[in-house]
Structure 1
Amino acid sequence: MLHKPNSHLLRRGRYSEPGRAYLVTAVVYQRRPVFADLYLGRLLVAELKRAHDLGLVNSLAWVIMPDHLHWLFELRDATLPEVMKRVKSCSTLAINRARRTHGAFWQYGYHDRAVRADEDLIKAARYIIANPLRAGLVEHVGDYSLWDAAWL
């Protein structure tokens, strides 16, 4: 059984509102830097794109860091837990298959924050996209492969 300290706190006050923008962070189990492998990162990208193409979300911006994901999206035809369960489970299957492994891939739960209507979504997207710069992974955003934003 996986140890889930304080995971119950991640769900407290969670509410899914269609049309609302959410900033979500999901972390790889034991913070393993598996997305340093571009191919594995692209498998996660495919799942983000699938959620967008199915109309579950309107994906606004994302960055896949070596050991976690930041994703800004507008909720459409699903609840927040449904979207995250789908993306995390489908990406786990694809990534475990590619690595010829099995078992937990993501840490239990995820962090989410509803973006208020008066907040600037473009500022939030820029903050997300700048993560590789702040982490010292690259000197220019364009040098990092695992990100996208609707406006940039």
Structure 2
Amino acid sequence: MSRPLRIEYAGALYHVTSRGNERKAIYREESDFNLFLDTLAEVCERFNWTIHSWCLMTNHYHLVVETPDGNLSAGMRQLNGVYTTRFNRRYGRVGHLFQGRYKAILVDKSAYLLELSRYVVLNPVRARMVEHPGDWLGAVTVIPSVS
């Protein structure tokens, strides 16, 4: 059975998640968080993405991504592929880092952006890793005014 097609269009907003293969860590140390964020910044520049909020957990990540050019699939292929290559090179490993296909949920920006961003940055609190979202190294929300 074939995979369902992704809905992509200019200006779309998505809640994107991707989990480590076998639910294993995709960040082993603080520098890996930075490596992922550097890779994400490159993807944002190349594909003209806007990140409204993100949270990097130990074995998965959440992104709230707006795609002005309707190019989520191309950008995600770059993000997960390049990060996997860099992570594998750093740790002398080969093979998949991420479990299957990333998950992307299309979101109504005007109705759910703020609530979704709260959900994303509160992940480490709900997982009882920290008491306050600001205490977690891998989470941030940057919400511009919603028009």
TM-score between both structures, scaled by the size of structure 2: 0.88
How far has the Cα of 1:20 moved from its partner? 1.0
Measured in 1, the distance between the counterparts of 2:109 and 2:143 equals 17
Map of 2:101 onto structure 1? 109
How far has the Cα of 1:151 moved from its partner? 3.0
Mean Cα displacement is larger for which, 92-101 or 11-20? 11-20
How far has the Cα of 1:94 moved from its partner? 1.1
Mean Cα displacement is larger for which, 122-131 or 97-106? 97-106
Q: Percent identity?
A: 25
Letter in 1 for 2:106: A
Mean Cα displacement is larger for which, 139-148 or 50-59? 50-59
How far has the Cα of 1:17 moved from its partner? 1.0
TM-score between both structures, scaled by the size of structure 1: 0.86
Measured in 1, the distance between the counterparts of 2:66 and 2:6 equals 15
2:35 corresponds to 1:39: no
Q: Is the 8 A contact 2:11 2:70 kept in 1?
A: no
Deviations 1:28-87 (A, max 9, x none): 111112425221122111111112222431111110111001100101235221111000
Listed as ranges, the gaps of 5+ residues in structure 2 are: none
Measured in 1, the distance between the counterparts of 2:21 and 2:143 equals 31
Measured in 2, the distance between the counterparts of 1:34 and 1:113 equals 21
2:111 corresponds to 1:119: yes
2:147 corresponds to 1:151: no
Map of 1:3 onto structure 2? none
Measured in 1, the distance between the counterparts of 2:26 and 2:75 equals 22
2:8 corresponds to 1:19: no
Map of 1:83 onto structure 2? 75
Q: Is the 8 A contact 2:11 2:69 kept in 1?
A: no
Cα root mean square deviation, aligned = 1.9
Moved over 4 A (4+): none
1:140 aligns with one of 111, 115, 132: 132
